[in-house]
Structure 1
Amino acid sequence: ALGLFGAGAKVGFEYWASWLDWPVNVGGKPWDSLPAFVPLTFEIMVLFAGVSTVIALFIVSKLYPGKKPQLISPRVTNDQFALAFEHTGGNVNVAEVYDLLKGYNVVEIEERVA
């Protein structure tokens, strides 16, 4: 949608520039010579579409400057991995989960209540 807006704005600007602001007769061609406007219109359309896609990606992903990350562990971005298990009150024995994790030489086990 923003690509079409950019293309329309660019064609409007070229018509305005070649008709009102800077009317120059180039080779006897009319001021509204559409074939001369096509290559740059396509490039502007692709530029606007690409930039709007990147902006939409940042908005949907909630990636913006100054955002505080919600990390499970502070070292997860440096040199460690983290696993999070959510216990919803089913028939899961927490002691068995601890024993299973200790069998794999887990460095740290932390339990949090949300």
Structure 2
Amino acid sequence: MQYMLLLYANEGGWAHLTPAQQEQGVAAYRAYSEALTKAGVLKGADRLQGSSAATTVRLTEGKPQVLDGPYADSREQLGGYYLIDVPDLDAALSWASRCPTVGHGVVEVRPLWAMSA
């Protein structure tokens, strides 16, 4: 079954890290990605640009309304994702608990809803 690991963290936190801490962070994500790949469960992953680059579209009285910014204002922003294919929720939770994001943010685990052809 496929699961999205949605990574939420405070965007401003990165700028407050020293260059050495930033290097450690990059290395931790690289190692995590490699572990997912070696296990054969990684289907996709990427970082997102900052929430200031987001645009939100919604219908208001039947007409599209385009707004600058993310869907919701919060302390933590969606910063990236991993798409994994594992046997069950327990396996997905196990991988999520190993993600470096849990040390400074949260990882939301959500199953994909397979669309029929």
TM-score, normalised via structure 2 length: 0.23
Structure with a larger share of its residues in helix: 1
Q: Which has the higher contact order (CA 8 A, sep 6+)?
A: 2
Structure with a larger share of its residues in strand: 2
TM-score, normalised via structure 1 length: 0.23
**Which protein has the larger Cα radius of gyration, Structure 1 or Structure 2?**
1
